[in-house]
Structure 1
């Protein structure tokens, strides 16, 4: 075992942990045991994991050590423990979508999990999420509240809240989330992480053809930009099952993250795409501070608001249809939460393919209008969410309409980019006066992930957010 302190191993990141194993300073089994000890210590407070695959992870790590000892080639993520949001199949476990209504065991891994294993990752457990990822708060009747490592009285956001808590607290260096309306970016914002929603169709959703129709994509939550890029390089790609396929890029994500960056044209906008939503003063101040930083780094920074048509007629039918699709997969519908049953019932009208196609076509027209901003600018800098992390218990005692009223403003800056399909990333931007993470969002033209990664990497070097560690760590 390396002489590095526990916290140094925990917060060395995906890149660092992979190098520790590759160099022989740490074995895959030792790193997995280290992660399991941290999970045992921290998870009772944070509630990041619903299922810890301890025996399976130790066995997998042992096999990886034997492979490395034999001189066989090792993968990008060799020996690194990775957490999986519980909307992805892991063979031998139920895919619960955050609730209690699925008891059926998955026979095989999802494509993302398969690719992670092929890259040498150790699958260490399944993370909490609101049922079907509907809400931007990770709270369920089945599993309770997931708490934020920066302040356990506040929410992690959602829907990838369990993954965010696991990564922010150093239980794991990375975890897989999903984003159908902000669900990678919002918990990244609430927990001080980097979270890139890649271009629609960049990552497979197989065995399912899509995630919330055209809205959703899968991807990692990490502390650093290079960690995110490395995990993406391991999981990028689609299968014949997938409904959407992104245009191939000319470089790996890891190459893009560290490539030299020429001055960019950056539009700064704090106007919300959803009418009636006003960002908190500290959120606006965070955006302004990053804008000044980018200007000092030599970028051309202008105040400019994109044109935002009302996206409701595209977004809402796809959400309802997606929830209905997932509800039909459960084997115990009687155990669905009441709000979920209500949404699924409404979703019957959005289930026919013609409704989904019409909503997607509306989204394409909206994207054409919104993306005109990239005729002039390379990046839009905007808030990730209008609010600071909320108190836990946001869904306690709420009916469907009350929950919707609380949820919609939280995702107001994110969901438009799910409709359009553009890449967008939550980037840490310091802390509020109460010590809670602040975040800004970087958005690029279609297939512009490499530009986001390189700019975010430049900001990471200036802000230094990876040096900050939460109290619950």
Structure 2
């Protein structure tokens, strides 16, 4: 048994080896930590929990010997550095916090209850503001496909860790595309769940109505398994979602029913035109879906202007997170500019933005009257070179972000579920991606079709995968 191959495997494979007794949690975690230590040049992790993870692995092995275990028992999982892990500073990508979190976030508690082992925290830009994972505190996070390219963001550390085969799962957050964009740049599957599907406790909100939490994985099934662990409402949730008829894992494992799938390469903003390679990926996927038995046709959605609903929550979310840090003087100058630019984004305006987003959701729902799922590009451009934020002002960073969020941010405003899924590799050697958007409670349909596509067109992995493990 090659431990490097085991470390770079997914949840299903690791779980099978652990259940069969071929591998212990202690062996898996030791090998995982070794791989992470040999790939520091990626800039994927901000904190690696060596001693804690090994101690937890020992406890997991003891628990396994005593009886039935959870669905993630012994599986290493990384956590984006905006989600609380007990005993670890929640940095939000800054150096402005210094006190460790007193308790796990609700999502982390659920992961641990299912047997997962928290291996460390992953990099993000300050407060997740940008679709590029770069910060003055932690530097650049590099794409395992090409280390001169960006992972996207803001869950770029999580994407780099999974794409490089360092961990099978890493948790991210998505307030404007921050799960889907890095998944697209790094060849991963990333589902942004419906608003209210996964709790954000103990925080009141994650950028108000925009942000959600979810995993980045290499396979659709791995994502479904993790979602079945973390989904479900908790007390105090402002936004809630009804229980699905099927579990997410069941949706992946059963054959996909024929659906009406509309496709469009139209951008939600005239400021971003899609790269022809991204357009071709959509057309190729549409053809494949038709070959798989779906009714596929081009649609022309009427996308409403959504920035007036997005920006109050964006600015208000950043200001709320910045107001809670311990050392505000350490924040990046670009963040301080955003705080100053967003002085108008106070609670009444934010609440208006949330209500406006709900109104826009009813408008875009019209597309789902004629199709069950919508197929689009995930990002308009190819993964950019690293260093895109070097010397950039807040306005410059916002401008550079437009091609990255042109197809994703609308669905945060409206709360619809949407997923980025791999669509092969471009002539530039970088992964291609498409986005599937669903109606409310449409995650199971997205997962079912995504799994069908994955079987017909297996997800690629970077050649540097093994090299990242040393």
d(CA) in 2 for partners of 1:449, 1:207: 24
2:451 aligned residue:
457
Alignment of 1:78-89 (within 5 A): 78-89=73-84
1:312 to 2:307 alignment: yes
Asked if 1:29 corresponds to 2:26, the answer is: yes
Matches within 5 A, 1:34-433: 34-42=31-39, 44-71=40-67, 73-352=68-347, 354-433=348-427
SS at match of 1:20: helix
Contact 2:232–2:243, Cα closer than 8 Å, also in 1: no
Please tell me whether the aligned partners of residues 195 and 220 of structure 1 are also in contact (alpha carbons under 8 angstroms).
yes
Deviations 1:180-224 (CA, angstroms, capped at 9, x unpaired): 000000000000000000000000100012110101100000000
Deviation at 1:247, TM superposition (A): 1.8
- Pairwise CA distance, 1:451: 0.2
Deviations 1:393-444 (A, max 9, x none): 0000111111111012211100000011010000000111010011000001
Task: Using the TM superposition, give the Cα deviation of residue 262 of structure 1 relative to its aligned residue in structure 2, in angstroms.
Answer: 1.7
* Contact preservation (8 Å) 2:272, 2:402: no
- Cα distance, 1:466 vs structure 2: 5.2
Question: With structure 1 as the length reference, what TM-score do the two structures score?
Answer: 0.97
Q: In structure 2, how many angstroms separate the alpha carbons of the residues matched to 1:127 and 1:467?
A: 20
Give, in whole Å, the separation in 2 of the partners of 1:376 and 1:171: 42
Secondary structure class of the residue paired with 1:196: strand
Q: SS of the residue aligned with 1:109?
A: coil
Deviation at 1:19, TM superposition (A): 1.4
The whole-number CA distance in structure 2 between the counterparts of 1:294 and 1:421 is 25
CA apart distance, 1:20: 1.1
Q: Distance in 2 between matches of 1:142 and 1:258?
A: 42
d(CA) in 1 for partners of 2:462 and 2:337? 41
CA contact (8 A) 1:208 1:241 kept: no
Q: After TM superposition, give the deviation of residue 111 of structure 1 in Å.
A: 0.5
- In the alignment, the residues of structure 2 paired with residue 468 and residue 24 of structure 1 have an alpha-carbon distance, to the nearest angstrom, of 30
Q: C-alpha separation between the residues in 1 aligned to 2:394 and 2:417?
A: 30
Distance 1:96 1:234 in 2: 25
Query: Per-residue displacement from partner, 1:237-273 (whole Å, max 9, x unpaired)?
Result: 2322321101221121101111222211011100001
Distance 1:64 1:466 in 2: 32
- Secondary structure of the equivalent of 2:344? helix
Tell me the secondary structure at the aligned position of residue 365 of structure 2: helix
The answer on whether the counterparts of 2:374 and 2:438 sit within 8 Å (CA) in structure 1 is: yes
Deviation at 1:126, TM superposition (A): 0.3
SS at match of 1:267: strand
More moved, 116-125 vs 304-313: 304-313
Superposition deviation, residue 302 in structure 1: 0.5
Is the Cα contact below 8 Å between 2:260 and 2:296 reproduced in 1?
A: yes
- Structure 1 vs Structure 2 CA RMSD: 1.1
Structure 1: 5+ residue stretches without partners: none
Cα shift at 1:338: 0.7
CA distance in 2, matches of 1:467, 1:415: 27
The Cα shift of 1:469 comes to 4.8
- Moved beyond 4 Å, runs of 4+: 466-469
Deviates more, 1:58-67 or 1:341-350: 341-350
Q: What residue number does 1:10 align with?
A: 7
Is the contact between residue 207 and residue 241 of structure 1 (CA under 8 Å) also seen in structure 2?
Answer: no
For residue 468 of structure 1, report the CA deviation from its aligned partner.
Answer: 5.7
CA contact (8 A) 1:325 1:351 kept: no
Q: Which moved more, 1:461-470 or 1:428-437?
A: 461-470
Q: Distance between the aligned counterparts of 1:220 and 1:344, measured in 2?
A: 29
In 1, distance between residues paired with 2:282 and 2:22?
A: 41
**Whole-angstrom CA distance in 2 between matches of 1:219 and 1:335:** 29
SS in 1 for 2:343: helix
TM-score, reference length from structure 2: 0.98
The number of aligned residues is: 467
